[in-house]
Amino acid sequence: MKPLVVMLSASLAVLALAGGAWAGDARGIEPSWIGAAKTAADHEAIAKSYEAEAMGFEKKAAMHKNLAETYGVPGGKPWQASQAKHCDSVAASLKTAAEEDRALAAGHRKIAKEVSP
């Protein structure tokens, strides 16, 4: 029973910390910014927003990878294995989202170089 209490306590602590991280990047990218972007500064601002969002996704991916390792300890309960698989899947999806955001940032930086100041 004690290992279960420790694991649940650790999970609650991680969720509490993650809630703060999610709130920190809740602003996101407004679709209206994309259509309104005309100057190099506009596109650079969008690129910075995508970079910030990517960093948030990477932090969340690391958290889920850590949870997967915690749930995946040898000798765990059967439900822990499925939870570890879920966390690995979420981590992979978040990593992909971060990579896509970085590519979008690079695209806007390229546009920023091409538009007149």
- Global pTM? 0.72
CA distance 6 to 98: 31
pLDDT digits (tens, 9 = 90+) for 15-71: 444 443 433 344 678 888 888 999 999 999 999 999 999 999 999 999 999 999 999
Tokens 């259509």 appear where? 35
Based on the structure, what is the number of domains in the chain? 1
Residue 95's domain comprises 2-114
Cα gap 35→81, rounded to integer Å = 45
Would you give the end-to-end CA distance of the chain in angstroms? 64
pLDDT in tens, 64-91: 999 999 999 988 888 999 999 999 999 9
Higher pLDDT, 98 or 11: 98
